[in-house]
Structure 1
Amino acid sequence: MDIVHNVKISTTPATLYELFTTESGMNKWWSMDCDIAREPGGVSKVRFTKDENKIEMCFRLDTLEPGEKMVWTCVENPNPAWIDTVLHFSVKPAGEQSDFTFKHTNWDAKWQGQIPYEQTKHGWEHFMNSLKNYCEKGIGEPW
């Protein structure tokens, strides 16, 4: 039931790493309103606002390997399906490109085929395209 995306992106690993580990990076492709933890154990907050609705998600930073990987565990989210799920962001060089892997794991099987899981799958498809488009065309689609 894991959500996995492996994308070859025409940019450097350093650029990709900054895009998933900093506020200014996340603002370009995922969330336009976030606070990103810099030390393991810290909590990142990612917010999405549409009209008068504001959604805030909180993630504990579990792993930070400079230049390579970040792992978060969801500790707070209005969507109960996300609680205790794990987000893995990693990058490595791939010739003239970078190999970006994103995984959203640790889903409870009871969510399989349910709207919260299916919406999340489609949402990540959008945001992976947003990340790639930002890197290659300068235009992301953050929310």
Structure 2
Amino acid sequence: MNDIQHRVGIKSSADNIYQLLTTDSGLTQWWTNDVSGAGEINALIKFRFNGGGPDFTVVELLPNKRVGWQHSGSVPEAWIGTSIVFELVDDGEQIFVNFTHANWTEATDFMAHCNTKWAVFLLSLKDAAETGKGAPFPNDTQIDHS
């Protein structure tokens, strides 16, 4: 199996970051402007990008520490069976978000694309937490011309 991993230091409270990861209003500030369903364990979160997109079931919520999702849809196909974890680590100076998108069946160009896009969106999370203004889809940084 293959995993995407990132680590981003954010000058904000763990509670603020946790809210950005666990509520519809928080998620719309940094990933996509169309989110519904966030909130509790076993909730199905629907993330939409121009009408389509992935669904995730919330599988773990440790307040201010860890958020876990399991892919629960058929889109995109390469994400079937994958899971996402956001681990929040306070080092006294900042909160590190350790991100993992785990269990990819193979390393492909699409996985490489998603790796870069996750970096873009994690920097959007950083901006949302630090300044109150992220860059969620459709206002995110584009990484290709298609």
Give the alignment's TM-score, normalised by structure 2. Answer: 0.86
Q: Runs in 1 of length 4+ with deviation above 3 angstroms?
A: none
1:40 corresponds to: 41
Q: Which amino acid aligns with 1:13?
A: A
Q: CA offset at residue 13 of structure 1?
A: 0.5
Tell me, yes or no, if the aligned pair for 2:72 and 2:80 is still in contact at 8 Å: yes
Question: What secondary structure is seen at the aligned counterpart in 2 of 1:56?
Answer: coil
Match of 1:59 in 2: 56
**Displacement of 1:42:** 2.3
TM-score normalized by the length of structure 1: 0.87
Cα distance between partner residues in 1 of 2:15 and 2:62 = 12
The percentage of aligned residue pairs carrying the same residue is 32
Say whether 1:119 aligns with 2:109. Answer: no
Residues 65-99 of structure 1, C-alpha deviations (whole Å, 9 max, x = no match)? 12211111111142210011000012132213111
User: Aligned residues, how many?
Assistant: 136
In structure 1, the residue matched to 2:144 is: none
Match of 1:22 in 2: 23
Structure 1: how far apart are the matches of 2:37 and 2:99? 17
- Evaluate the alpha carbon distance shift between residue 16 and residue 65 of structure 1 in structure 2; reply closer, same or farther with a 3 A threshold: same
Q: 1:105 aligns with which of 98, 102, 107?
A: 102
How well do the aligned residues superpose, as a CA RMSD in angstroms?
A: 1.4
Partner in structure 1 of residue 82 of structure 2 = 85
Structure 1 unaligned spans of 5+ = none
Contact 2:15 2:63 in 1 (8 A): no
Q: Which has the higher strand share?
A: 1
Distance 1:28 1:39 in 2: 19
For 2:128, give the aligned amino acid.
Y
AA partner of residue 86 (structure 1) = S
The residue number in structure 2 matching 1:130 is: 124
Q: Which amino acid aligns with 1:138?
A: G
Where do 5+ consecutive residues of structure 2 fail to align?
138-146
